[in-house]
Structures are given as structure tokens and as C-alpha cells.
Amino acid sequence: MKKSILSLIAIVLVVLGSANFTYAAANSKDTSVTLSAIGAFSKIEAHGNVEVVVATGDNNAVTVNNNYYAESELVQVEGGVLRISSYSTEKLFVYVTATNLQTIAAYDNALVKSDGRLSLIDLQVDLYDNSYAGLNLDNYAATITVNDKAKADLTGNVEEYSLNYSHSSTVNRSELVAENAVEVVTTPYQVAPKHKHHSVEAINS
């Protein structure tokens, strides 16, 4: 009987210890959460205070840092668009692997960066407000539009390259090699298309 009681106490302590460990890990800023049930998408929209790192891969996958579950944050796929937004003071970090990425759009103060070279057939990038994109490309074609006070750092190799940018924007393409390039300066300020602040319906992990 005594042995049974001691064994029961030991089991309870192990369970409690595991629960405390899990709670601590879930609340550590070094942890991340991989979202399940991510559908197919060809476009990424980034809004607000977010930093999105993008890589090409064999599977669509999205991993976010621990603070994702705040009410002001949204990561979801709808109509082939992966929408990522956060309007909290703490930046939301998201790592995206995409199999068929065709378009990136960034608004507000959103940052979009590539992890290694993005190997794509054709990529369209639209930057608005004070957003930023740092992209290393290995594409056949790339169409880059930089509006308002947005910034872009472009490197890599592109066969067909088109750039539209405003006088108020900043574009560094000194390390981008393009076979055929067309660059056009647009009006100083181009109004961004209205984008809704979508309701928070997060994909369960």
C-alpha cells in the first residue's frame, strides 16, 4: 500500500513537472508554432507590424513566433491568399515556405525578406506605405512596384525585370542582374488600394 501511494505521488509530480515545462516553453519568446491545415496559396499579403521570411520549398508551411495568439493578429489562407497581419506593439515573426508563390504585397510597416534565393518563374511584388522587401531572386521574370515611402533591396538574377517606383521610395538594385530591364518612375505618391483589417479567425495549430 505504501509503495502504491509513493508511486502515485511520483506520477503526479512527473505530470505536474511536464505541465510546467510545457507552459514555460509555450510562453518563451524563443518558441514557435507551426500552423496546421494551411491550404494552397500563390499570394502573400503582409499588413501592420509583421516580419515575414519567405523561402521556396516542396510544401506550403507557416511557422509563427509565440505571440501569434493575440487578438490583434491574423494568419489565414483565403481564396489562395495567405494573409498575415498584426497591429500589436510586439512584432509578429512569420516563416513561410511556398511551393507556387506568384505575388507579394506589403502594407503599413510590414517587412518581407527572402531566406536564400527565391527560385520562381514569375513574381510580382507590390509595396505600399512604409513597407520593406529584401529579396534575393532567381527568376525568369519579376515585376516590382514600390509606392509611397516603401523600400526594396533586390539582388540575384532575373531574365525579364520591370520596376515601377515613386520618387519618395527607395530601391537598391545594384546587385540585381537582369537580361532585360524596364524601369519607370511613377507619381510621387500612389494611393494604396484599400485593404480590410480582416477579422481574426486564426488557423488552429
Residue 11 backbone dihedrals phi, psi, to 5 degrees: -65, -45
Residue 136 in grid coordinates:
534575393
Instruction: Specify the 3-state DSSP secondary structure of 38.
Output: coil
Let me know: does 108 contact 86? Beta carbons within 8 Å.
no
Distance, in Å, from the CA atom of 202 to the CA atom of 205, rounded to the nearest integer, reads: 9
Locate the domains of the chain by residue range: 1-30, 33-185
- The CATH number of 33-185 is 2.160.20.120
Residue 150 backbone dihedrals phi, psi, to 5 degrees: -70, 160
Closest CA to 44 of 75, 93, 83: 83
**Of 34 and 25, more confident:** 34
What's the N-to-C CA distance of the chain in angstroms? 43
Range 128-164 burial, b when 16+ CB lie within 10 A, else e? beebbbebbbbbebbbbbbbbebbbbbbbbbeebbbb
According to the model, what pLDDT value does residue 33 have?
85
Closest CA to 51 of 107, 108, 92: 92
What is the value of pTM for the model shown?
0.76
Residue-by-residue DSSP string for 137-158: EEEEEEEEEE-TT-EEEEEEEE
193 band by pLDDT with thresholds 50, 70 and 90: low
Let me know: does 109 contact 89? Beta carbons within 8 Å.
no
118-172 pLDDT tens trace:
999 999 999 999 999 999 999 999 999 999 999 999 999 999 999 999 999 999 9
Instruction: Specify the 3-state DSSP secondary structure of 188.
Output: coil
- DSSP assignment letter at 100: S
50-87 pLDDT tens trace:
999 999 998 999 999 866 666 677 899 999 999 999 99
- DSSP assignment letter at 51: E
